[in-house]
Chains A and B, each alone.
Chain A
Amino acid sequence: MTQSTMERPKVVSREEWLAARKALLEKEKQLTRQNDALAAERRNLPHVKVEKEYVFDTPKGKKTLADLFEGRSQLILYHFMFGPEWNEGCPSCSILGDHIDGNVQHLANRDVTLLAVSRAPIAKIEEFKKRLGWRFKWASSFGNDFNRDFHVSFTKQEVAQKEMYYNFKRQFFPSEEGPGLSVFYKNENGEVFHTYSTYGRGGESMMGVYSYLDIAPKGRNEEGLPHPMMWVRHHDRYEQDYYADGANEADNTDQVVKAAGAWCCGGAAD
């Protein structure tokens, strides 16, 4: 994205600003309406019946895809990049993960169960989840076809040959795991349908961070970086350990930043 007026800010009167702001507001409103229209189109997509039986490892034992709905009719799975051999989950997926807990309770009361799925064994998932202080449910698809069928895990050979099927086309994604969201519906007969999946930048709007950066003067400020999300760290790995109420407010500048191993788009872990 092109950079801002940061270098030469134009300072104006309140009236002048207001005129410019109102003009922009019209475009923002238009975008909101377009977003509503697209959501309606999304709901009109056909459904595909899920015939295969997928079994996941959860803290409560083996569960089928149908079980994961937990009594609701709609299920959203976040495909969290965390491969079986990785030591930790992907940092960029972890930003999205940082926002999941705030949603779960509200969505549960709107007939939506939201949880994460990764290929890492459940023990690794549990350990990492504890480290990051998250409460959302997170199941393991270790050993089943789920990640592969929904195009978020790739073979070592595909990575070596730099070609795989991701985000609805053949392309190179530099990791054995890719991020995404898949949506399922369960009817009264207990039949499960796949209704929607999104990949790549499709998950961006679930990260409040980007919505906030998009209203700040410096914007995302990612242009000089080797890849856009290069700045992202796990929330316990930043130099500035900044939490709101100042529990850790003193100087944390001397805190050592541990290198994050698994970049979403910058290469596989380890």
Chain B
Amino acid sequence: MTQSAGKSRKVASREEWLEARKDLLVKEKQLTRQSDALAIERRHLPWVKVDKQYVFDTPKGKKTLSDLFDGRSQLIVYHFMFGPEWKEGCHGCSMISDHIGGSTQHLANRDVTLLAVSRAPLSKIDEFKKRMDWRFRWVSSFGSDFNRDYHVSFSEEDLAKGDVEYNFTKQTSWRRDEAPGASVFYKNEKGEVFHTYSTYGRGNEQFMGVYRYLDLVPKGRDEDGLPNPSAWVKHHDRYEQDYYADAKAEQQTKVAGGR
């Protein structure tokens, strides 16, 4: 994206601004309609029956993929990058997850169960989740094929050979053993489970309000000078400006970031 940070902006009258803003609004509305149309196309995708049995470690013991629906018919799994040997979950995935808590309750009441899955052992997940003060469900696929089958974990051999299938493409320069994404499943009345959709890469951006907000401000995402676009992202407890600490001192309100 072309950056515009620091570029001097034209100062206009209210009328002039309004004219420019209305022109832009037409395009924004068009994009909203296109997004609606794509959502429909997405729902017209065929489904693939999941025949393999996947078992996950959860705080309540072993659970199958079918169990994870928790009585609902739709399941969205966020593939959170947290490898078995990692000390903590990925920064970018953590930023997405800072948004998950606000969604789970509303989605649950729309017949959607939303949770995260990582390959890290459950004890590591629980510890990190506690540190980040999150409440959403997060299960471990440690030792199962789940991550591999849904193309978000890669073996050392794959990485060494440059033979990684990610985001529906063969990637030759992917270096990490984990990758981010979201997968959607449906369970019918007979209890059969189907894979309906997966998205990867920038497909995850839609779940991060942060980028939506940055796309509205004068400086934009302001990522041009960085080694990689998300180099600025930190775990929310690792920023220099602990903005919430002030708020806590002020109000002594309960932490709600983990909802």
Cβ of B101 and Cβ of A22 under 8 Å apart? no
Q: 1/0 per position for B210-234, CB-CB distance to A under 8 A?
A: 1011111111111000000000111
Contact of A103 among B46, B60, B99, B100 (CB under 8 A): B99
Cβ of A102 and Cβ of B220 under 8 Å apart? no
Q: 1/0 per position for B5-39, CB-CB distance to A under 8 A?
A: 00001111110111011101101110110111011
**A63 within 8 Å of B (CB atoms):** no
- Known contacts A215-B184, A217-B196; A31 and B38 CB within 8 A of each other: yes
Cβ of A101 and Cβ of B102 under 8 Å apart? yes
Contacts of A206 in B (CB 8 A): 209, 212-213
Residues of A5-58 contacting chain B, CB below 8 A: 5-6, 9-14, 16-18, 20-22, 24-25, 27-29, 31-32, 34-36, 38-49
Query: CA of A164 to CA of B115 in the docked complex: distance in angstroms?
Result: 42
Contact of A21 among B21, B45, B137 (CB under 8 A): B45
**A119 within 8 Å of B (CB atoms):** no
Cβ of A247 and Cβ of B135 under 8 Å apart? yes
Query: CA of A114 to CA of B217 in the docked complex: distance in angstroms?
Result: 11
Contacts of B45 in A (CB 8 A): 5, 17, 20-21, 24
**B157 within 8 Å of A (CB atoms):** no
Closest to B192 in A: A11
**A216 within 8 Å of B (CB atoms):** yes
Cβ of A213 and Cβ of B107 under 8 Å apart? yes
Contact of B110 among A31, A168, A213 (CB under 8 A): A213
Cβ of B103 and Cβ of A212 under 8 Å apart? yes
- Known contacts A17-B46, A43-B220, A107-B210; A212 and B112 CB within 8 A of each other: yes
Contact of B247 among A10, A137, A196 (CB under 8 A): A137
Contact of A134 among B99, B241, B256 (CB under 8 A): B256
Residues of A65-95 contacting chain B, CB below 8 A: 73-74, 76, 95
Closest to A236 in B: B105
Contact of A106 among B24, B44, B233 (CB under 8 A): B233
- Nearest-neighbour CB distance to chain B for A182, whole angstroms, equals 9
- Nearest-neighbour CB distance to chain B for A255, whole angstroms, equals 12
Cβ of B109 and Cβ of A214 under 8 Å apart? no
Query: CA of A205 to CA of B24 in the docked complex: distance in angstroms?
Result: 17
How many contacting A-B pairs (Cβ < 8 A)? 348
**A141 within 8 Å of B (CB atoms):** no
Cβ of A45 and Cβ of B20 under 8 Å apart? yes
Cβ of A98 and Cβ of B241 under 8 Å apart? no
- Known contacts A31-B34, A103-B98, A209-B107; A168 and B40 CB within 8 A of each other: no
Query: CA of A42 to CA of B76 in the docked complex: distance in angstroms?
Result: 32
- Nearest-neighbour CB distance to chain B for A71, whole angstroms, equals 9
From A154-162, A171-179, A237-245, A262-270, give the one contacting chain B. Answer: A237-245
Query: CA of A200 to CA of B70 in the docked complex: distance in angstroms?
Result: 34
Closest to B205 in A: A32
Q: 1/0 per position for A99-129, CB-CB distance to B under 8 A?
A: 1111111111111101000000000000001
**A143 within 8 Å of B (CB atoms):** no
Contacts of B220 in A (CB 8 A): 39-40, 43
**B147 within 8 Å of A (CB atoms):** no
**A64 within 8 Å of B (CB atoms):** no
Cβ of B11 and Cβ of A215 under 8 Å apart? no
Closest to A106 in B: B210
Cβ of A114 and Cβ of B213 under 8 Å apart? yes
> Closest 3 CB pairs between A and B?
A4-B43, A46-B12, A102-B98
Beyond A102-B209, A103-B98, A215-B39, 9 additional pairs, beta carbon < 8 A: A9-B186, A21-B168, A21-B198, A59-B250, A135-B253, A168-B18, A213-B112, A215-B184, A243-B135
- Name A residues whose Cβ lies closer than 8 Å to a Cβ of B: 1-6, 9-14, 16-18, 20-22, 24-25, 27-29, 31-32, 34-36, 38-49, 59-60, 73-74, 76, 95, 98-112, 114, 129-130, 132-137, 167-168, 181, 183, 185, 193-198, 201-202, 204-209, 211-221, 231-233, 235, 238-247
Chain A to chain B contacts (Cβ below 8 Å), 19 pairs? A12-B46, A21-B168, A36-B1, A39-B1, A40-B4, A42-B24, A46-B9, A47-B218, A59-B250, A101-B98, A101-B256, A101-B259, A110-B214, A205-B209, A206-B212, A206-B213, A215-B182, A219-B40, A243-B105
- Name B residues whose Cβ lies closer than 8 Å to a Cβ of A: 1-2, 4, 9-14, 16-18, 20-22, 24-25, 27-29, 31-32, 34-36, 38-49, 59-60, 70, 73-74, 76, 95, 98-112, 114-115, 129, 134-138, 167-168, 182, 184, 186, 194-199, 202-203, 205-210, 212-222, 232-234, 236, 239-244, 247-248, 250-251, 253-257, 259
